Chains A and B, each alone.
Chain A
Amino acid sequence: MNQQPPPNSFRQGPDARGRFGNFGGRFVAETLMPLILEVEAAYEASKTDQAFQDEWRRLLTHYVGRPSPLWFAERLTTHLRKDAAPGMGAKVYFKRDELNHTGAHKINAVLGQILLAKKMGKTRIIAETGAGQHGVATATACALMDLPCVVYMGATDVERQQPNVFRMKLLGAEVVPVTSGAATLKDAMNEGLRDWVANVRDTYYCIGTVAGPHPYPAMVRDFQSVIGIEAKAQMQEAEGRLPDVLVAAVGGGSNAMGLFYPFLDDADVAMVGVEAAGRGLDSGEHAAALSRGRPGVLHGNRTYLLQDGDGQITEAHSISAGLDYPGVGPEHSWLHELGRVTYSGVTDDEALAAFQLCSKLEGIIPALEPAHALAEVMKMAPKMPAEKIILMNLCGRGDKDIFTVAKHLGENI
């Protein structure tokens, strides 16, 4: 941990260089650099462009279905109190971003970015995807706005996320399987960047998480912050106060930043980011960049990365394709070093158990990504007094995962 004093505000980043403390930045090849600066200028201008903001809000309300509900998970809360000591067992709320059109939080930032791309005069959209949720969201926005869309997806992920691959095709996108490396999200992002370098003049790269070169980490966070802003107001209405703890899954970390960011300066609100511990944090097969990685530079930013002693990037592992990434957004690295957010790990098996429990108790089939967050909630809640409140981001629905889960449970469907 760094010994730097805490900042006056945790919401001041990034600086003019795109840094959150020592993390972030713009580590890209010169070919992309002018375009990165163009995206930054366009994004800055969009913040005060009322017509842009109005159109994004209109789409969020009438196309996505926002605000997403805040749900008191009463049966889950009761269940977790059963084995807790008397007076223990926190109340659990879900922020239900799985009810968004396309089934996850990704659409929030995608619509913002595609509107920006149109404003910049770009005529072609590319994206990378892991679980396929960001790819589906991008393909959806491109269908709506009549833009050609190419989605890069690791061949391994194409295999394990077939429903989403088909969805993207139905929506008119071209899905390009990427076979380099381990053929997962990292490799898809490499291929996306290579495409962008080659088609820089007409193409906009719609990044799905709070990573990549500046301004992407800040821009995607700002668009996703709609989650936390809504949740804050909804929690005031439901409980008359803020929650005690926020919990969210962290792969690249966009749903977590979206929930956390509006609360960062509320000192009484604790936050837990849940990384994928795969087969265990010490198994060597996980995706826990913050818990087990060290700072490095990949995909345009300095952040915590899974890497070997020579600075070669190592493969991540998670049952969840959306968390299967060896890096993490730079703002998370900063919040981790400052200690503002605590980062923990949940294994494949724990996530699978949470996935099933949530389905049976709440009638909500969560995606495997938020199932990691839920597994953490299941560990925390019984140890907290009953009057405490946990707010978890249920950032995606599990329809896409039923085949993966069935396979792990030994069922043929």
Chain B
Amino acid sequence: MSRIATKFAALKAQGRGALIPFLEAFDPDRETAMAILRGMPAAGADLIEIGVPFTDPMADGPTVQKAGQRGLKAGATMAGTLGMVRDFREGDAETPVILMGYFNPILSYGVARFCAEAAEAGVDGLIVVDVPPEEADEIAPDATANGLDLIRLIAPTTGEDRLPKVLSATTGFVYYVAITGVTGTRSASTDDLAAAIPRIRKYTDLPIAIGFGVRTPQQAGEASRIADGAVVASALIEGLVASLDAEGRATAATVPAVLDRVRELAEAVRKG
């Protein structure tokens, strides 16, 4: 069983959903991002999503956009991002790691080479925002051959007619984009989520995580109960940004600022 499937099965046995915090690779620098990544499991992260910086992140709001720009400025590359995962795996063999990003950096690296090296580094799943099921053959064969889950996005606009098509191309878990919008802007209501998740469950047995607009511990708790997990990104990055000095450099407060928030979110998810 994959690390992702093992984790969700274990959490199901515990009767709770997953907390999936996000960090952008190399934000604000490699060392700080590495310290945040290493500290996340102890702070309560069940799975971890790492953003791969890209110059033109079309689905992201200003918070994640700027995180990517800081990462790129700090020297983030595909090889560097994979290197972070490799270093993380030296101390953690259990926590699933998912890379989230856009297709062009993968295409540029070479799809086959990327999938092989990502798997070798210890990556478990991929979310490639701008590769919908219609373009799946661009990456699915190499991802599958290397045992990488291809986690797909389902949006509020994904109609009943389309759900089976998208879900049949999904492995690992389903990522439900809670709002029509970019990351870090607004939040879905509990009622909307409560209506949306059963609609997806009709077509899949895979775990479902909710992302986009999950900001507070309360929202993370609710999302993890309505579905099987909650992804929190922009709210964590905002905490990181607030800790930077005037030149945008990390301070002694940066790592704790992020991990303390992860702890608060984890507590809410565990309350049940």
A29 CA / B211 CA spacing, docked (Å): 14
Q: Which of B105, B130, B159 contacts A311 (CB 8 A)?
A: B105
The verdict on B144 contacting chain A, using a C-beta distance below 8 Å, is: no
Residues of chain A lying within 8 A (CB to CB) of residue B59: 29, 31, 194, 197
The verdict on B231 contacting chain A, using a C-beta distance below 8 Å, is: no
From 178 to 235 in chain A, residues with beta carbon under 8 angstroms from any chain B beta carbon are 180-181, 186, 190, 193-194, 197-201
Nearest neighbor of A313 in chain B, beta-carbon distance = B55
Nearest neighbor of B106 in chain A, beta-carbon distance = A311
- B55/A29 in contact, CB under 8 A: no
Task: Classify the secondary structure of B's interface with A.
Answer: loop
A198 CA / B182 CA spacing, docked (Å): 7
Q: Which of B108, B129, B156 contacts A29 (CB 8 A)?
A: B129
Q: Which of A33, A190, A309, A312 contacts B72 (CB 8 A)?
A: A312
The verdict on A340 contacting chain B, using a C-beta distance below 8 Å, is: no
**B189 → A minimal CB distance (Å):** 16
Chain A contact residue count (CB 8 A cutoff):
35
A198 CA / B106 CA spacing, docked (Å): 26
Nearest neighbor of A25 in chain B, beta-carbon distance = B135
* Binary A-proximity of B91-130 (CB < 8 A = 1, otherwise 0): 0000000000011111111000000000000000000011
Q: Which of B72, B135, B180 contacts A27 (CB 8 A)?
A: B135
Segment from A104-112, A124-132, A153-161, A292-300 that makes contact with B: A292-300
- B132/A296 in contact, CB under 8 A: no
**A119 → B minimal CB distance (Å):** 20
The verdict on B158 contacting chain A, using a C-beta distance below 8 Å, is: yes
* Binary A-proximity of B126-150 (CB < 8 A = 1, otherwise 0): 0001111011000000000000000
A37 CA / B130 CA spacing, docked (Å): 15
- A299/B132 in contact, CB under 8 A: no
Q: Which of A33, A199, A305, A311 contacts B134 (CB 8 A)?
A: A33
Q: Which of A30, A181, A199 contacts B153 (CB 8 A)?
A: A30
* Binary B-proximity of A301-313 (CB < 8 A = 1, otherwise 0): 0000101011111
- B105/A31 in contact, CB under 8 A: no
A213 CA / B237 CA spacing, docked (Å): 30
- B108/A198 in contact, CB under 8 A: no
From 159 to 182 in chain B, residues with beta carbon under 8 angstroms from any chain A beta carbon are 159, 162, 166, 177, 179-182
Residues of chain B lying within 8 A (CB to CB) of residue A180: 62, 65
- B107/A296 in contact, CB under 8 A: yes
A307 CA / B54 CA spacing, docked (Å): 11
**A259 → B minimal CB distance (Å):** 29
A101 CA / B181 CA spacing, docked (Å): 35
**A38 → B minimal CB distance (Å):** 10
- B58/A193 in contact, CB under 8 A: yes
- A30/B166 in contact, CB under 8 A: yes
**A28 → B minimal CB distance (Å):** 6
**A106 → B minimal CB distance (Å):** 23
- A197/B107 in contact, CB under 8 A: no
From 29 to 76 in chain A, residues with beta carbon under 8 angstroms from any chain B beta carbon are 29-35
Q: A296-B107, A312-B72 are in contact. Are A197 and B182 (CB under 8 A)?
A: yes
**B34 → A minimal CB distance (Å):** 19
- B56/A29 in contact, CB under 8 A: no
Q: Which of A25, A296, A299 contacts B58 (CB 8 A)?
A: A299
- A26/B154 in contact, CB under 8 A: no
- A27/B130 in contact, CB under 8 A: yes
- A30/B154 in contact, CB under 8 A: yes
A223 CA / B81 CA spacing, docked (Å): 44
Q: A31-B180, A194-B182, A198-B181 are in contact. Are A311 and B153 (CB under 8 A)?
A: no
The verdict on B157 contacting chain A, using a C-beta distance below 8 Å, is: yes
Chain B positions within 8 Å of A, measured between CB atoms, are: 53-62, 65, 72, 77-78, 102-109, 129-132, 134-135, 152-159, 162, 166, 177, 179-182, 185
Q: List 12 A-B contacts (CB under 8 A).
A: A25-B135, A26-B135, A29-B130, A30-B177, A31-B180, A180-B62, A190-B56, A190-B58, A197-B58, A311-B108, A312-B54, A312-B104
